[in-house]
Amino acid sequence: MYINLLNATVLGQAQGGGFGGFGSLLFLGGMFLVMWLFMIRPQTKKAKEQKQFIDNLQEGDKIVTIAGIHGKIKKINPENNTLTIEVSTGTYLTIERVAISKEYSATVNAAATAEKK
C-alpha cells in the first residue's frame, strides 16, 4: 500500500501536475511577455523619443553631448548629419547629431527657462 502511494506521488510530480506540458508553455510565454513589457518596450520608446528630439533641433538651441560638453548649436549640416556647436566664445566643435543627450539637454533648457521667470 505504501509503495502504491509512493509511485502515485512520484508519477504525479513527474508529469508536471494538472497542466501537463501546457503549464510549462504558459509559464514560458508569461516570462517573454514580462520581459517585453519591462525591458524591450521602454527601450524602444526611449529610442523613438531620442530620434524625435534630434530631428527637431534648431540653431540656437542649448545642448549637452553624451560626453558632457555644453554648447549652443550654431550650424546644422544635413548632408553629413553633423552640428557645429559653440562651447565658448570663439570656440567651435563639429559633432555628430547622435552625440547629443536628450536628458541632459532637457535639464539644461528647463533650468534656463526657470531662470528667465
CATH among 2.30.30.140, 3.40.720.10, 2.130.10.10, 1.10.1020.10 for 58-116: 2.30.30.140
**Residue 57 — φ and ψ, nearest 5°?**
-70, 145
- For residues 98-113, give the mean pLDDT: 77
Nearest to 50 by CA among 106, 107, 115: 106
Q: In this predicted model, what pLDDT tens digit does every residue of 35-64 receive, in sequence order?
A: 888 888 888 898 898 889 888 888 988 999
Show the cell assigned to 107.
535639464
Nearest to 103 by CA among 57, 61, 65: 65
- Entry pTM: 0.60
Per domain, the residue ranges of the chain are 2-52, 58-116
Q: Is the dihedral of CA 43, 47, 50, 56 positive or negative?
A: negative
